[in-house]
């Protein structure tokens, strides 16, 4: 019998939490429903969920601080924020805390399920398909393990950093449009996700700065070019 996908839900609105839990269970998921961030953190440590759905505003521990705690334990588990706010700074704060996506209340269950499936499918692909290691200057990039292995150090990447770097490595020395990167790595083209992408590009640029044969060039108004010189 196939094991059900486990979802950690943290929502302090008890009625909304019950509705989400009921709909997700009807769709075949196993759901751990928590009324606050602290309870959710306790269950995360015990339960190893496959995906986390976190409300932003919760008592005892808000969604952003909970996401940061989760990221200290796992770079792989997808985090989806539920928020009543649509302000740019809140969405960017969510990405900075380690979130993978956000959904603004009110939302339909169809939309929530669709967003969840994007990340769950991606994780299954990562687990199921062994990816070839890639030489990047003096580094060897291990996409499956999220690692950049150099002669003197090994850098562990987050899942999103690894996915982005892998996509860049698949298209070296080519100008990639912003919407092309977003659609392939994040699953959709979105202004706020685009701001998040810029942050991740900056991180990768810093990590690879010690390798002179590699550059990540910003093509203003267009996108990026990842160059590897032999």
191-215: per-residue pLDDT in tens?
777 888 888 899 899 989 888 889 9
Nearest to 136 by CA among 172, 184, 161: 172
Task: Identify the structural domains of the chain with CATH numbers, from first to last.
Answer: 6-128 (3.40.50.2300), 134-228 (1.10.10.10)
- For residue 129, the model assigns a pLDDT of 45
Q: Are 185 and 167 in contact (CB under 8 A)?
A: yes
Q: Are 75 and 159 in contact (CB under 8 A)?
A: yes
State both tokens at 80. 């989806």
Distant-in-sequence, close-in-space partners of 127: CB < 8 Å, separation ≥ 6: none
State both tokens at 131. 């990816």
For residues 50 and 1, the model is more confident at 50
Q: In the predicted model, what is the mean pLDDT of the chain?
A: 86
**Hey, CA dihedral for 10, 108, 191, 188, is it positive or negative?**
positive
- For residue 53, the model assigns a pLDDT of 96
Mean pLDDT in residue range 33-54: 93
Scan for tokens 């997700």, then name that residue: 24
Give bridge partners of residue 33 from the DSSP assignment. 9
CA distances from 212 to 120, 147, 150, 161 (A): 36, 19, 14, 20
What confidence tens digit (pLDDT) does each residue in 129-170 have? 446 788 888 889 988 888 888 888 888 888 788 889 999 998
Q: Is the pLDDT reported for residue 128 higher than 50? A: no
């Amino acid at each position: 019998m196939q094991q059900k996908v486990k979802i950690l839900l943290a929502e302090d609105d008890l009625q909304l939490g019950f509705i989400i839990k009921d709909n997700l269970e009807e769709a075949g998921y196993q759901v751990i429903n928590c009324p606050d961030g602290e309870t959710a953190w306790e269950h995360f440590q015990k339960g190893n969920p496959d995906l986390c759905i976190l409300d932003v505003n919760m008592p005892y521990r808000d969604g952003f601080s909970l996401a940061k705690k989760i990221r200290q334990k796992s770079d792989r588990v997808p985090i989806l924020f539920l928020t009543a706010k649509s302000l740019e700074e809140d969405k960017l704060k969510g990405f900075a805390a380690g979130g993978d996506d956000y959904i603004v209340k009110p939302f339909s269950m169809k939309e929530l399920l669709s967003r969840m499936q994007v990340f769950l499918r991606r994780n299954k692909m990562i687990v199921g398909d062994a990816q070839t290691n890639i030489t990047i200057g003096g580094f060897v990039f291990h996409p499956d393990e999220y690692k950049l292995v150099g002669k003197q150090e090994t850098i562990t990447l987050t899942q999103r950093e690894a996915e982005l770097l892998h996509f860049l490595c698949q298209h070296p020395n080519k100008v990639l449009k912003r919407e092309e990167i977003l659609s392939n790595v994040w699953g959709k083209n979105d202004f706020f996700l685009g701001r998040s992408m810029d942050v991740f590009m900056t991180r990768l640029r810093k990590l690879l700065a010690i390798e002179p044969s590699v550059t990540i060039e910003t093509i203003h108004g267009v996108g990026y070019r990842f160059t590897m010189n032999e």
